[in-house]
Structure 1
């Protein structure tokens, strides 16, 4: 025999289900990344980072620049062309620049919001999935240490030129954070252009970055953040545009969360020395006061060890300071004698 739930119980169950779904999909906290009871703190890798996918397709050079911030939405930069902007609340943005090799003119070919919170535009929130590599069923991943983060929510086109909702191809960013104790993972290309309401930084433009990108190709392999691919992949019977990145960092190691962060070092020798001297002095005064009280019934200043000296200490220091001052200033032309 089955019991039917009352409307109140049904509403409560539905609310609990929606709350659990929201917690699982609506946000990504880079400071508290959890999978299989293992926690990673990736907050040190926050900030806008850039990778390039450069292709020579004659008669032009195609530079697909991907900018990502795993901790917060990307910000608009001062003087940035609106045609190269992803919508607000974007975490991963791709902009393709095409440079004509004959006249060296660069134009924006496409702007792709790959991951972000777009629930105000098309009702699609930021979705995140986290997978521990060691616990993966894949043989290739099981030999790695780190975490895979998948961020989605974007589409190839969110709106048309008039701002109307448009449902383009779904997008996803797959970032594999690999454990590498030898690097903090910050040796990436940083988007250091001044933000629209941020502090002034060293001026640079995307066109200059694009022109220098081919020269930086050999060094790109040595950077911690590496571009792997951006192509269509079949996910649940549907074609998605998938960006795959690899990021080597010590913060992806499973014991990194227990290690002190940069600047959180241990106390130095002199700090410990001062603490020990202070505690020893306090213990001496307390024990001496207790001993004098029990032995002689002394109270107040009389109970303190060397109470007379401590009581006269301000006068002693004042007299010492006066002597030092007189020594430095000298006795003048009187040979040390005072005027009568």
Structure 2
């Protein structure tokens, strides 16, 4: 096989291959396919955070992990740049040392765990990989319904270690996935007090099930990855009804029913108009012997519609153009 060598051929080949590379490295939360089953996690979009606290004796290490499953995390205007990860980050970690009394808090480190980090020293791709929980080799996972995503591309300068994230979306039909997420204004207080399971963004706090007060998004673990000890792995669990295998079918069925109403409305309006024109034309033909435009009911009005529209458009244009000026000659 002979490869193209001219600049034009190279450009054409790049245009053809680029969409395939984009599909391989991007994450679309609306159209997820895992083992032939479709999922839609759009409802979980937006930055959400969970916090883990490690007791160090005289102080605590509070690490806040923020994730957006639908798009890259955005930087806040006027925010502290030291507390923000590079552009195109999907999972970000911000680490503080906090005294036991909560009065002193010092930023220790900020590092991306997953994303298309073209601007960072540890260049990497997100390279998302979806799997159904029931197809995983673990016996415990085989009994669960849901899906798991493996995210890459993160880099921690302290030690030069690559970062990965695995988020397990478990099917829970009693949860939307946004339960027990405090309002944005409560995040600072929660960080100082060392609370766990904090969400950075939530429009309105959801009502959790009466028998379960835990957040839908929880921290599992963070540390060296057993499969690759030179890398660190973050594990999160997210319970939501959108991870159920029949959730997307129900969502699509609801949308189809709504679209069906408008389809029937347009169809009935079209058939009614057609029936009126056909019946009116038949009546004019048999009663008055009409031909051509005279066949149509109110044929003169229908025939004048294009001219009426043209005249109306001309009036609007003249009103806009002549509103600020005065034409013609002045009286003497």
When normalised by structure 1's length, the TM-score is 0.67
Cα shift at 1:235 = 1.9
Aligned to 1:29: 28
1:276 & 1:26 partners in 2: Cα distance? 42
Check the 8 A contact 1:50/1:188 in 2, yes or no.
no
2:144 & 2:179 partners in 1: Cα distance? 21
1:191 & 1:117 partners in 2: Cα distance? 29
Q: How does 1:89-238 map to 2 (within 5 A)?
A: 89-102=88-101, 104-122=103-121, 123-157=123-157, 168-187=160-179, 189=181, 192=184, 204=185, 207-214=188-195, 222-236=214-228, 238=229
Q: Is 276-285 or 62-71 further displaced after alignment?
A: 276-285
Check the 8 A contact 2:50/2:196 in 1, yes or no.
no
1:259 & 1:96 partners in 2: Cα distance? 40
Deviation digits for residues 144-167 of structure 1 (CA, Å, limit 9, x no counterpart): 111100111112218xxxxxxxx7
SS in 1 for 2:195: helix
2:101 & 2:216 partners in 1: Cα distance? 34
SS in 1 for 2:135: coil
Check the 8 A contact 1:115/1:171 in 2, yes or no.
yes
Deviation digits for residues 52-84 of structure 1 (CA, Å, limit 9, x no counterpart): 112333212321111111222211123322222
SS in 2 for 1:185: coil
1:176 & 1:275 partners in 2: Cα distance? 44
Check the 8 A contact 1:90/1:116 in 2, yes or no.
yes
Cα shift at 1:256 = 2.3
Q: 2:276 aligns with which of 264, 285, 295?
A: 285
Cα shift at 1:189 = 3.5
Cα shift at 1:92 = 0.5
Check the 8 A contact 1:89/1:118 in 2, yes or no.
yes
1:69 & 1:224 partners in 2: Cα distance? 15
Q: Does 1:47 align with 2:46?
A: yes
2:87 & 2:105 partners in 1: Cα distance? 25
2:186 & 2:271 partners in 1: Cα distance? 61
Measured on the aligned residues, the alpha-carbon RMSD in Å equals: 4.2
When normalised by structure 2's length, the TM-score is 0.68
Aligned length: 280
Q: Is 24-33 or 259-268 further displaced after alignment?
A: 259-268
Q: Name stretches of at least 5 consecutive residues in structure 1 with no aligned partner.
A: 159-166, 193-203, 311-340
- Rg larger in structure: 1
Q: 1:255 aligns with which of 243, 246, 266?
A: 246
Cα shift at 1:225 = 1.0
Q: Name stretches of at least 5 consecutive residues in structure 2 with no aligned partner.
A: 199-207, 302-332
